[in-house]
Amino acid sequence: MNWVTRVRNAIPFIAKRETAETLWHKCKGCNAMIFLKEFEENQSVCPKCDHHGRIGPAERFAALFDDDSYEVLKPPVVGEDPLKFKDTKKYTDRIKAARLATGEQDAMISAKGEINGQTAVISVQDFAFMGGSMGMAVGEAFIDAVKVAIRAKCPYIIFTAAGGARMQEGILSLMQMPRSTVAIQMLHDAGLPYIVVLTDPTTGGVTASYAMLGDVQIAEPGALIGFAGQRVIEQTIREKLPEGFQRAEYLLEHGMIDMVTHRHDLRGTLSQLIGFLAPEKKAA
């Protein structure tokens, strides 16, 4: 960086020039160039091919909850880097980088609010945070959200998006699978619905635990859903897998999920399901 650039960046009243990256979005489905603002206003769904892009917790909450009706739950405090793990980078450095990039404490954020006047607790996994990987913080956030739902006597809804367990936490990460399963049983014992919305991608240990244990299983169009990757499966069974394998529509056709719902219709679908499944509020 030369001295002219350094001086220019240091002067606050000189606006930085907008670039193609800040104005346009290239759709991963059809490669069309879309105005970024138009794409974001359409809930990150391509207006040309309907490809559903990945979105984070803030966008989910804004699209689902009634205006200003929700409160983000405080993230849990867990021990960080329990194994003192290091690969090409220290685990602590990876966490710091993910927090800086996303502005979140970890890969799962929860909130309590209302959907068309009906109370619900929603958790969202953020794939932008270390691939949405399931570590101790994610497991604890899941359990905390379940407890809030039980106290509020309302449904618990989770939006999954993960590459699986967080390898940097080893067996402690895998232990979140049975812990989350026990939490779901707590919901069932309380007579409360557990609704899962599978988004792209949902894989690994997350799929092998709480992602596939919903009373109702919903998926967004085109979402990748599976345990092992397609290449690994093909190498193992030495056969070519069918077209669309592990995609939401394929799973619906084979009875693995209950419905595939467009992102624009999710709020209405969830509201309807809450009305069907949630216990009636007792008159005061």
Domain topology for 54-277: 2-enoyl-CoA Hydratase; Chain A, domain 1 (3.90.226)
C-alpha 152/C-alpha 253 separation (Å) is: 35
Please check if 27 is assigned to a binding site. Answer: yes
Give percent helix, percent strand, percent coil of the chain, each to the nearest 5. Answer: 40, 20, 40
The annotation status of 46 as a binding-site residue, yes or no, is yes
154 is in an annotated binding site: no
Which helix (H) or strand (E) segment holds residue 100: the answer is helix 91-102
Tens-digit pLDDT string for the chain (284 aa): 566 556 555 555 444 454 556 799 999 999 999 999 999 999 999 999 999 999 999 999 999 999 988 999 999 999 999 999 999 999 999 999 999 999 999 999 999 999 999 999 999 999 999 999 999 999 999 999 999 999 999 999 999 999 999 999 999 999 999 999 999 999 999 999 999 999 999 999 999 999 999 999 999 999 999 998 888 888 898 989 888 899 999 999 999 999 999 999 999 999 999 999 986 654 33
The identity of residue 157, as a single letter, is I
Contacts of 261 (CB under 8 A, 6+ apart): 197, 218, 219, 220, 221, 269
* Residue range(s) of every CATH 3.90.226.10 domain in the chain: 54-277
